[in-house]
Copies of this chain bind each other. A is one copy, B any other.
Amino acid sequence: MSNAIRVFVVDDHTLFRKGLVSLLSELEDIQVVGEASTGEEAIEIVMGIESDLILMDINMPGMSGIETLGVLRQQGVENPVLMLTISEHQEDLVEAICAGASGYLLKNTEPEILQQTIKQVIAGKSVLSPEITEQVFEMVRSRKIGVEKKLTEREIQMLHLLSSGSKTSQLAEQMSISENTVKTHIRNIFEKLEVSSRAEAVAKAVRLKLI
């Protein structure tokens, strides 16, 4: 099968890894092209072979799956990496995503779902286990996540004055600071709100109910 998905498996638990490899090998459209029991081993092998997707455990002795992913990305490996772990920790999830993971599945996932997820990831999609999605919802609700970085007090003041039409010289006077500082604050606002003009900044701030 020339168009089978070539999967590489990284997990320190031999029993789990072997079982997973056996399971995946039975599938028509998936081909296991290699396996490793540590991050160090994974890096060495992956750099030398061709593969389409990496299944990576997180908790491993030595390098963690996240550190391993970081090194692989640094070495130019662009393959999608699907984390397959027992960890529901927020920290692991956040770090895995930041390190460049394409998905985050728990090990209690049903084989069919895993198969389905592998195909979705190959298709360029991002996937999370339902439990992890729930975790994300919780993070959002507890405001640990926001749509934008939090603005500081001075930045909010700046936006208020900006929205009432003040220009740089007036802002400087009203806030008792130099014009240079005004501009710096505004630049920081631009970055946080992901905009590039004063008008946009005010519009977005109003929309986000920041002012």
Q: CA–CA, A44 to B96, complex, Å?
A: 44
Chain B residues closer than 8 Å to A94, beta-carbon distance = 140, 145-147
Give the contact stretch, choosing among A14-22, A57-65, A125-133, A178-186: A125-133
Number of copies: 2
A211 in the interface (beta carbon within 8 A):
yes
Interface residues of A in 65-89 (CB under 8 A from B): 88-89
Q: CA–CA, A178 to B98, complex, Å?
A: 35
A120 in the interface (beta carbon within 8 A):
yes
Question: Nearest chain B CB to A124's CB is how many angstroms away?
Answer: 9
Q: Give a binary string over A191-211; 1 marks a CB under 8 Å from any B CB, 0 the rest.
A: 000000000000000011111
Question: Nearest chain B CB to A91's CB is how many angstroms away?
Answer: 5
